[in-house]
Amino acid sequence: MDPLEGDGRRLTLNELTGTIIGAAIKIHKRLGPGLLESAYEACLAYELRNIGLRVEQQRAVPLVYEGVRLECGFRADLVVENRVAAELKCKETVHPVDLSQLLSHLRLLNLRVGLMINFHVVVLKDGIHRLVNNYQEEGPLELVGDRN
């Protein structure tokens, strides 16, 4: 069952990520920075389930290499509605490798959108990164220059 808006339509990816971000902001306003990732994960999963979203915590991320499924222990913190992966951090700075990890999870889970949410900030919006797997512009691409 997909989450529906009041008018009966399915939430778009933008609406779904907005809902996740809104719940994270609510939690951050109540708890502030300084807790462990696991505390924020439990609270965010609770909030999202409370509004009717399906949430998987610590979902295994499969790695298929040369046709063989390998168990490597990769885990996505949260997968919401089987459409958005959310990785939670509690650290001074999110490093490029953290974002690369989320992109890898998106590829391996075959998801289009992911959120990196770092709760170790004063204002949560400063700790949120939205990533898109295999982003493509809508419409035809026009090459500039050679028009023969």
pLDDT digits (tens, 9 = 90+) for 80-131: 999 999 999 999 999 999 999 999 999 999 999 999 999 999 999 999 999 9
State residue 64 phi and psi, 5-degree precision.
-110, 120
pLDDT digits (tens, 9 = 90+) for 124-143: 999 999 999 975 544 444 44
Beta strands in 1-148 (DSSP E): 55-60, 63-65, 68-70, 75-80, 84-89, 113-118, 128-132
In this structure, is residue 143 part of a structural domain? no
Residue type (1 letter), 37 = E
In this structure, is residue 128 part of a structural domain? yes
Q: Which domain holds residue 93?
A: 13-132
Question: 0.75 exceeded by the pTM?
Answer: yes
In this structure, is residue 6 part of a structural domain? no
Give the chain's domain count. Answer: 1
Distance CA(56)–CA(58), nearest Å, equals 7
CATH of the domain at 17: 3.40.1350
